[in-house]
């Protein structure tokens, strides 16, 4: 057998009394893409940070293949890991905000700048990614930051490239071009560790799979030996099935009056949208980025002006109302980019409920006892991991920020909630919590319009699903028709996918 590029032997790592890695053994061979999957908190990021020299394990050894066979890696020394050809694309982008995209990508690379730039341009062209190298990193969206981190990784001549959930914020096209790039690296005999919570990706690019649970690798094998059910079992948190059972699916009463309705609604970026939403219904809303879903949601919410058509809430015409009035009536919108929009906007739109308003953009900042009690309730209900309700919101992890923003929106007691990409960029565990929150809303008869580019998510949660393509509804699906295949076709405007609906 080939010599591995990486050999991890009995690695142990604790944080205080929390034993996070409990004896990890793992080999990665040249020319393989190892998918490392496992629930939130399984220890995946800790493992790869230990390999990268960011954390110092208490026990075990790590070897990297060198000129003369396996060489022992010095712990807790990122430079040593880099020198041996290991590169990690981290889960949370860590760019220098004051530097440009180009400076961030090329930083720390020894070669001549002109050569590096030429290579960078080639890589970007091959990938087909749209990224302005001269922009300052501060102005990038989360997705763009992720692209920059990935480019950093692809440009390095790494022997072992590790990607920690790299695609959580990327579009379908970006993911596909990334996969093509990874495949090229694999053919050059580079070893890749690919951490993901998306099962489809495992079948798309992995040659081998390792499942991690609770600090141990519980199962490894060739990708072909795994089926979906086995992966699901390895992926979900231990208590997931119990929670799923708790929030068992409740049928929607389609004879009831729709709580929300759009009639031939048109605005900038979308046209002639008609749909109905019923109490306690989760309506999945899929499409590719740019399909017009966010524009539609923002217009419904009074952020942009409608051009024609009507919006009804419980039969009442609410077309053209201001955001404040619409919120008061019982429609709420949780926007996609929680960093730039969510926290700030929620603060402003909640002017009518000052007790629920964040008084400052950067603080989870609550004064009176009553406000404190509300915050505590959401922290507990949503399992927001924080050191306390006064923790700065910006220092929470992505999933916990998202939960906090959703919590804020729900204090307005909405009848209709529009969630825009609620789980983009967050890990599997927080994702499970957010699914539980969404199912909880359903149980309370709230109608949910779930905008998501993650087809798996739409399939898992929706009672009914519509797809939007180039600003128009391109398909509607119920029951067994809600498959990733159907949703994907309709999202790409493949004709024949659209179906009329009786609803
Ligand atoms: P995964 O990437 O599989 O979701 P992580 O490796 O991020 O899991 O985390 C594993 C466990 O280690 C979690 O319980 C987490 O809270 C803990 N942990 C991770 N990093 C730190 C840290 N820097 N300090 C303390 N605990 C940590
Ligand atoms: Mg992680």
Rounded CA-CA distance 374/356 in Å is 8
Neighbours of ion ligand 2 (CB under 5 A): 44-45, 91
Check residue 394 and give its pLDDT: 57
* More confident of the two residues 272 and 413: 272
Phi-psi region of 289 (alpha: psi -120 to 50; beta: other; left: phi over 0): beta
* Of 336, 272, 253, 353, nearest in space to 301 by CA: 336
Number of other CB atoms surrounding residue 214 within 10 Å: 14
Q: Provide the pLDDT for residue 381.
A: 65
Q: Does residue 474 line the site of ligand 1, with CB under 6 A?
A: no
Minimum CA distance residue for ligand 1 atom 16: 41
The CA 187 to ligand 2 mean position distance, Å, reads 27
Q: How far apart are CA 313 and CA 415, in angstroms?
A: 9
**For 258-262, 356-360, 366-370, 466-470, which range has the lowest pLDDT when averaged over its residues?**
356-360
Looking at residue 72, what is its pLDDT? 96
Q: What tens digit of pLDDT does each residue of 452-493 get?
A: 988 889 999 999 999 998 899 999 999 889 988 888 888 887
Concatenated DSSP letters of 300-361: HTTSS-EEEEEEEETTEE-TT--HHHHHHHTEEEE-S-IIIIIHHHHHHHGGGGGGGS-SBT
Residue 164 Cβ inside 6 Å of ligand 1? The answer reads no
Q: Which domains, ranges and CATH numbers included, belong to the chain?
A: 6-235 (3.40.50.300), 246-330+414-503 (3.40.50.300), 349-412 (no CATH)
Per-chain mean pLDDT for the chain:
82
Handedness of CA 483, 486, 487, 488 (dihedral sign): positive
Average pLDDT over residues 185-213: 91
Q: Is the CB of 40 under 6 A from ligand 1?
A: yes
Ligand 1, residue 47: give the atom nearest the CA: 6
Q: How far, in Å, is the centroid of ligand 1 from the Cα of 11?
A: 15
In degrees and rounded to multiples of 5, residue 182 shows phi and psi of -65, -40
Give the pLDDT band of residue 354 (cuts 50, 70, 90): very low
Buried b (16+ CB within 10 A) or exposed e, 401-439: bbbbbbbbbbbbebbbbbbbbbbbbbbbbbbbbbbbbbb
45 C-beta closer than 6 A to ligand 1: yes
What is the CA angle 341-449-295, rounded to 5? 50
Determine the pLDDT at residue 349: 24
Alpha helices in 188-291 (DSSP H): 199-205, 228-235, 240-246
Instruction: Give the dihedral of Cα atoms 73, 74, 77, 81; nearest 10 deg.
Output: -20
Rounded mean pLDDT, 372-393: 60
What's the CA dihedral at 151, 53, 50, 338 to 10 degrees? -40
Q: Would you state the pLDDT for residue 212?
A: 92
Rounded distance between C-alpha atoms, residue 369 and residue 49, angstroms: 41
Using pLDDT thresholds of 50, 70 and 90, give the confidence band for residue 345: very low
* Statement: residue 320 has pLDDT above 50: yes
Other CB atoms within 10 A of residue 334 CB: 25
Q: Rounded CA gap, 241 and 179, in Å? A: 31
pLDDT of residue 453: 83
Average pLDDT over residues 347-355: 26
Ligand whose nearest atom lies closest to the CA of 211: 1
Structure token digits, residue 93: 């982008």
Asked if pLDDT for residue 271 goes beyond 90, the answer is yes
Confidence band (pLDDT; 50, 70, 90) for 168?
confident
Query: How many whole angstroms separate alpha carbon 366 and alpha carbon 100?
Result: 36
This prediction's pTM: 0.58
d(CA 165, CA 323): 35
Q: In this prediction, what percent of the chain has a pLDDT beyond 90? A: 48
Shortest-distance Cα residue to atom 15 of ligand 1:
41
Please indicate whether residue 43, judged by its CB atom, sits closer than 6 Å to ligand 1.
Answer: yes
For residue 253, report the distance from its CA to the centre of ligand 1, in Å: 43
CA distance 424 to 77: 32
Note the pLDDT of residue 36.
96
What ranges in 107-220 are assigned the alpha helix state H? 113-127, 142-155, 172-187, 199-205
Name the band, by pLDDT with cuts 50, 70 and 90, for residue 223. very high
For residue 41, the model assigns a pLDDT of 76
Which of 33-47, 64-78, 358-372 has the lowest average pLDDT?
Answer: 358-372
CB-ligand 1 contact for 453 (6 Å cutoff): no
Ligand 2 centre to CA of 45 (Å) is: 4
**Confidence band (pLDDT; 50, 70, 90) for 246?**
very low
Highest mean pLDDT among 3-7, 352-356, 499-503: 3-7
The average pLDDT across 139-151 equals 87
Whether the per-residue pLDDT at 383 is higher than 90: the answer is no
Cβ of residue 15 lying under 6 Å from some atom of ligand 1: yes
Q: Is the pLDDT of residue 157 over 90?
A: no
**Token code pair at residue 486:** 């159907």
Which residue lies with its CA nearest to atom 26 of ligand 1?
A: 15
Q: Hey, which residues does 219 pair with through a beta bridge? A: 211
pLDDT at 484: 83
- Buried b vs exposed e over 468-495: b needs ≥16 C-beta within 10 Å? bbebbbbbbbbeeebeeebbbbbbebee
Helices (H) and strands (E) in the chain, counts: 17, 20
Mean pLDDT of the 145-161 span: 90
The span from the CA of 59 to the CA of 53, in Å, is: 14
């Amino acid at each position: 057998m080939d010599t591995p590029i990486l050999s991890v032997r009995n690695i142990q790592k604790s944080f205080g009394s929390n034993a996070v890695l409990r004896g990890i053994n793992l080999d990665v061979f040249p020319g393989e893409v190892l998918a490392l999957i496992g629930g939130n908190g399984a220890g995946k990021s800790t493992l790869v940070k230990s390999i990268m020299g960011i954390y110092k394990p208490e026990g075990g050894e790590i070897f990297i293949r060198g000129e003369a066979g396996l060489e022992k890696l010095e712990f807790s020394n990122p430079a040593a890991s880099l020198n041996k050809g290991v590169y990690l694309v981290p889960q949370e982008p860590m760019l220098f905000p004051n530097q440009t995209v180009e400076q961030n990508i090329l930083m720390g690379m020894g070669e001549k700048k002109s050569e590096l730039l030429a290579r960078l341009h080639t890589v970007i062209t091959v990938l087909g990614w749209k990224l302005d190298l001269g922009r300052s990193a501060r102005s990038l969206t989360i997705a763009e930051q992720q692209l920059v981190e990935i480019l950093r990784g692809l440009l390095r001549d790494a022997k072992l490239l590790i990607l920690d959930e790299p695609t959580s914020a990327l579009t379908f096209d970006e993911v596909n071009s990334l996969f093509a790039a990874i495949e090229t690296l694999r053919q050059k005999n580079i070893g890749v560790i690919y951490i993901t919570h998306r099962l489809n990706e495992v079948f798309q690019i992995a040659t081998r799979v390792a499942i991690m649970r609770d600090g141990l690798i519980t199962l490894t094998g060739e990708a072909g030996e795994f089926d979906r059910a086995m992966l699901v079992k390895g992926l979900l948190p231990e208590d997931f099935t119990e929670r799923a059972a708790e929030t068992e699916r409740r049928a929607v009463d389609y004879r009831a009056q729709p709580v929300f309705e759009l009639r031939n609604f048109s605005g900038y970026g979308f046209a002639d949208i008609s749909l109905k939403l019923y109490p306690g219904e989760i309506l999945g809303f899929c499409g590719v980025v740019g399909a017009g879903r966010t524009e539609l949601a923002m217009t419904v919410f009074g952020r942009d002006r409608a051009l024609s058509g009507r919006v009804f809430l419980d039969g009442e015409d609410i077309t053209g109302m201001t955001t404040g009035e619409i919120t008061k009536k019982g429609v709420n919108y949780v926007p996609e980019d929680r960093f730039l929009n969510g926290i700030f906007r929620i603060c402003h739109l909640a002017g009518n409920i000052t007790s629920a308003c964040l008084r400052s953009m950067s603080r989870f900042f609550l004064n009176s006892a009553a406000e404190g009690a509300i915050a505590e309730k959401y922290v507990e209900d949503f399992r927001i991991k924080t050191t306390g309700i006064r923790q700065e919101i910006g220092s929470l992890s992505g999933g916990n920020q998202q939960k906090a923003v959703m919590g804020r929106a729900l204090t307005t007691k909405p009848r209709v909630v529009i969630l825009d990409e609620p789980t983009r960029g967050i890990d599997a565990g927080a994702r499970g919590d957010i699914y539980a929150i969404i199912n909880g809303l359903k149980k309370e008869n709230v109608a949910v319009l779930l905008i998501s580019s993650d087809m798996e998510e739409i399939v898992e949660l929706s009672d009914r699903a519509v797809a939007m393509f180039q600003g128009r509804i391109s398909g509607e699906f119920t029951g067994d028709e809600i498959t990733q295949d159907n949703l994907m076709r309709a999202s790409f405007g493949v004709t024949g996918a659209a179906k009329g609906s009786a609803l």
